Amino acid sequence: MYATESDPWRFATSAYERDKYAATLAALPRARYASGLEVGCSIGVFTHQLCPRCDALIGLDVVPSVLDEARARCADCPNVRFQLAAVPGAWPDGRFDLILISEVAYYLDRADLARLVARVAGSVLPEADIVLVHWLGVTHYPLSGDEAAEGFIAGAQGFARVLKQSRTAEYRLDVLRAFKPAS
């Protein structure tokens, strides 16, 4: 998609994206995070809005040219760095108190979704927030937005619980909180 157009989904201009970004920021339970991870950052539109809320923020994507555009967009955000990574196979080092997975999990099949959940489980700090945002329209991807979110939530039961959920006609937003496993 990015080979012929730098913003094929209109991240920078669509009302859907603008409203979804505002709702996502409003849903964050904390005003500030020490270490954030945005899985599927694309051209960095939301990354730029999220960076003031994080001491450090890593944006992941699978397309090198997209990351170049994200770096340019976030040039005024010294706390942000970007990494080429196809999750769940690749994953950054570190532990995070915020992980955002927005419109990415439905690209995975159920086995890879389970691997993504395991990656998140291994990298969340106690009391970390995990935010899932997924489009609810018809897809030709392995999972629907509901299947991706519900599958993630079910897989995360051993380390995270749902704090809040909201839904519009176009997307769903789920916020989970990691907890310390019982000793």
Could you read off the pLDDT of 7-49 as tens digits, one per residue?
A: 544 556 688 899 999 999 999 999 999 999 999 999 999 999 9
pLDDT in tens, 55-74: 999 999 998 989 999 999 99
Comparing CA positions, the residue from 83, 72, 103, 77 lying closest to residue 8 is: 103
- Round to whole Å and give the CA distance between 70 and 66: 6
CB 153 within 8 A of CB 107: no
CA–CA gap between residue 42 and residue 11 (Å, rounded): 9
Model confidence at 4, pLDDT cuts 50, 70, 90, reads low
Q: What is the pTM of this model?
A: 0.91
Residue-wise pLDDT tens digits, 120-129: 999 999 999 9
Tokens of 146: 């509901």
Say how many CA atoms lie within 13 Å of 172 toward its Cβ: 18
Q: Are strands 54-61 and 80-84 parallel, antiparallel or unpaired?
A: parallel
